[in-house]
């Protein structure tokens, strides 16, 4: 069983809302990110890194010299989702098992304590 669209979007927002970029700012970019395919794991997996960087920039997520790093993180997240590596996340959230969720998400490049905290809050509130 794969993740829902809202769960994918919550994870995307959590991975982008770090290093002086607020969750509120990330949410404001979500409609444009949807249009550009950044919330669709299959589309992001098919993008090369320059295309992912361009899509983030066009969506309004221009972090200057850091944009490439966040593009890599977004791609890593979407590859994990696309390949089914996060399929157990839905069950972990339903069971309110934060440890299991952290174990799954911790395997994704770029997911550290801050992203885990945001992801858990988002997934248990909206996801």
* Domain ranges, ordered by start, for the chain: 5-125
Q: What is the pLDDT of residues 63-85, one digit of tens each?
A: 999 999 999 999 999 999 999 99
What's this model's pTM, rounded to 2 decimal places?
Answer: 0.94
Share of the chain above pLDDT 70, in %: 98
Q: Supply the Cα-derived Rg of the chain in whole angstroms.
A: 13
CA atoms lying within 13 Å on the CB side of residue 47: 24
For residue 126, the model assigns a pLDDT of 73
For residue 1, the model assigns a pLDDT of 52
Place of tokens 């790093």: 69
Distance of CA 14 to the CA centre of its chain: 6
Q: Is-contact 124 96, C-beta < 8 A?
A: yes
């Amino acid at each position: 069983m794969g993740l829902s669209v809202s769960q994918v979007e919550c994870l995307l927002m959590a991975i982008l809302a770090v290093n002086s970029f607020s969750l509120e700012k990330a949410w404001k970019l979500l409609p444009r990110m949807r249009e550009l395919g950044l919330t669709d794991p299959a589309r992001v997996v098919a993008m090369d890194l320059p295309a992912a960087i361009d899509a983030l920039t066009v969506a309004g997520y221009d972090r200057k010299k850091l944009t490439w790093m966040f593009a890599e993180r977004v791609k890593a997240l979407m590859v994990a989702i696309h390949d089914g590596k996060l399929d157990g996340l839905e069950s972990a959230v339903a069971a309110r098992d934060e440890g299991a969720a952290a174990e799954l998400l911790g395997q994704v490049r770029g997911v550290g304590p801050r992203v885990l905290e945001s992801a858990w809050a988002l997934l248990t509130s909206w996801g």
